């Protein structure tokens, strides 16, 4: 295949292995990741990527990802040859096209190249929040070993929905955080009332019962004194519908591939809805999980958890429960993986009250030598005997 994703099936191989370790040994305490990143666009076959960040520099290794819209889920690795005034010149031609217009959003981020990387005891590294332009992705190279001290965590989980007391006619925003956002309520005192879709691969949610890519539709009420819970977001599996006296939103579509050659955020849960003259506690819809990409010589999760679960919808009064978010994507590439037991998770958010549960996310491992352990959901695995520097890479890198 044409992808440049460090896979043996790529026709354009990745030449830089597990990175050069130039960032040294990383020892991380509780923090929020802050990658060098930007919205971007570029055309397949060219070496020009439109992106603006003064910290882009020659020699950096980058990940490019189509996060929403046309070609959603496409991604590849590349190297910056130079940067000037809003344009990255790439070392290698793009294998895919990336668009950043309207509902379509692509982003590029620099992947830090650690020697060894340790998440310290009881500490959490959290992904930068998705803001509709950039964020939601943790992506690193580790020349040596990724590991953790006791109870270390890498967090790309969707945010839980909040609860709030709302008077007639007031609305409640869905969870906004690491991955796609939950849909908002939009209550009225009487008559028809339509909640918002969860954010999904098709774009930002609008007031509609229809699916929004993998984001789920918002609930609809066509009479007074009625309410309906939100539907869960989707990813590898569909979310479930909420219940109540109106019409629940349609569950989002399943997206992506088991191998994570196409890789996506979990869909946001749909908003719940109410029509009536009383003041109630509303539960907000939850967000979906983000993306974690680790390319390391050795991955040891014995004392480290990677959490990519969908958020749980808020639990309110009388079926005013938000839809839960879908699990995100975890992609690990390594020679030897020690995974433990369910130390990596990308489950859908469980149902919050009468709200719908989120769909499961995806976890995939490409390994060279061996792996042990299990994940939730069950990991998809491919043994790749070439997962190292390609045979010609050392020669290539010596002269470049």
Lowest average pLDDT, out of 8-17, 87-96, 201-210, 335-344, goes to 8-17
pTM of the model: 0.95
Is position 40 within any domain? no
Give residues with Cβ within 8 angstroms of 400, minimum separation 6: none
| Domain interval for residue 336 | 133-384
DSSP helix/strand/coil, 310: coil
Quick: pLDDT tens for 110-119. 999 999 999 9
- Tell me the three-class secondary structure of 4-31, residue by residue: CCCCCCCCCCCCCCCCCCCCCCEEECCE
Read off the tokens for 274.
């109410």
Quick: pLDDT tens for 95-104. 999 999 999 9
Length of the chain: 400
Q: Which among 304, 183, 283 is positioned nearest to 227, based on CA atoms?
A: 283
Is position 164 within any domain? yes
Is residue 286 within 8 A of residue 325, CB to CB? The reply is yes
What is the average per-residue pLDDT within 360-371?
97
Number of domains in the chain: 1
User: What is the per-residue pLDDT for 394?
Assistant: 41
Lowest average pLDDT, out of 108-117, 128-137, 275-284, goes to 275-284
Q: Per-residue pLDDT for 21 more than 70?
A: yes
Share of the chain above pLDDT 70, in %: 96
Is position 36 within any domain? no
Is position 137 within any domain? yes
Quick: pLDDT tens for 169-220. 888 999 998 999 999 998 777 778 899 999 999 999 999 999 999 999 999 9
Is position 31 within any domain? no
Q: Per-residue pLDDT for 1 more than 70?
A: no
Is position 390 within any domain? no
Query: Whole-angstrom Cα distance, residue 74 to residue 38?
Result: 16
Query: Whole-angstrom Cα distance, residue 328 to residue 288?
Result: 6
Give residues with Cβ within 8 angstroms of 168, minimum separation 6: 187, 188, 189, 276, 277, 278, 279
Is position 110 within any domain? no
What is the average per-residue pLDDT within 367-375?
97
Q: Which among 398, 219, 177 is positioned nearest to 323, based on CA atoms?
A: 219
Is position 218 within any domain? yes
């Amino acid at each position: 295949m044409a992808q440049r994703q460090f896979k043996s099936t790529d026709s354009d191989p990745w030449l830089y292995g597990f990175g050069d370790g130039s960032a040294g040994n990383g020892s991380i305490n509780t923090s929020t990741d802050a990658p060098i990143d930007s919205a971007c666009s570029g055309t397949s076959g060219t070496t020009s990527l439109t992106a603006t960040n003064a910290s882009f520099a020659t020699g950096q290794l980058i990940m490019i990802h189509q996060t929403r819209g046309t070609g959603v889920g496409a991604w590849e690795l590349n190297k910056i040859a130079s940067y000037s005034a809003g344009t990255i010149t790439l070392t290698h031609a793009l294998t895919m096209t990336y668009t950043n217009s309207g509902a379509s959003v692509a982003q590029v981020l620099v992947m830090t190249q650690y020697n060894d990387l340790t998440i310290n005891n009881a500490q959490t590294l959290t992904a930068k929040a998705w803001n509709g332009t950039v964020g939601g992705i943790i992506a690193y190279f580790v020349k040596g070993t990724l590991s953790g001290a006791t109870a270390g965590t890498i967090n790309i989980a969707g945010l839980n929905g909040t609860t709030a007391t709302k008077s007639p006619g007031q609305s409640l925003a869905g969870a906004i955080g690491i991955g796609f956002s939950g849909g908002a309520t939009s209550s009225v005192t009487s008559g028809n009332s339509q909640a918002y879709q969860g954010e999904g691969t098709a774009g930002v949610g609008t007031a509609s019962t229809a699916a929004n890519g993998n984001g789920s539709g918002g609930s609809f009420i066509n009479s007074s004194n009625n309410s309906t819970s939100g539907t869960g977001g989707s990813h590898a599996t569909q979310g479930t519908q909420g219940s109540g006296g109106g019409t629940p939103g349609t569950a989002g579509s399943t997206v992506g591939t088991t191998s994570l050659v196409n890789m996506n955020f979990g869909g946001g849960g749909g908003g719940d809805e109410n029509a009536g003259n009383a003041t109630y506690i509303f539960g907000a819809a939850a967000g979906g999980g983000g993306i974690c990409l680790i390319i390391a010589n050795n991955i040891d999760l014995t004392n480290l958890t990677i959490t990519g679960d969908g958020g749980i919808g808020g639990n309110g009064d009388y079926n005013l429960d938000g839809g839960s978010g879908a699990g995100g994507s975890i992609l690990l590439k390594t020679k030897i993986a020690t995974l433990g037991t369910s130390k990596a998770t990308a489950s859908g958010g469980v149902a919050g009250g009468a709200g719908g549960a989120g769909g499961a996310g995806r976890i995939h491992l490409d390994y060279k030598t061996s792996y042990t352990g299990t994940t939730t959901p069950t990991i998809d695995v491919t043994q790749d005997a070439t997962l190292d520097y390609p045979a010609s890479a050392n020669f290539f890198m010596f002269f470049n």
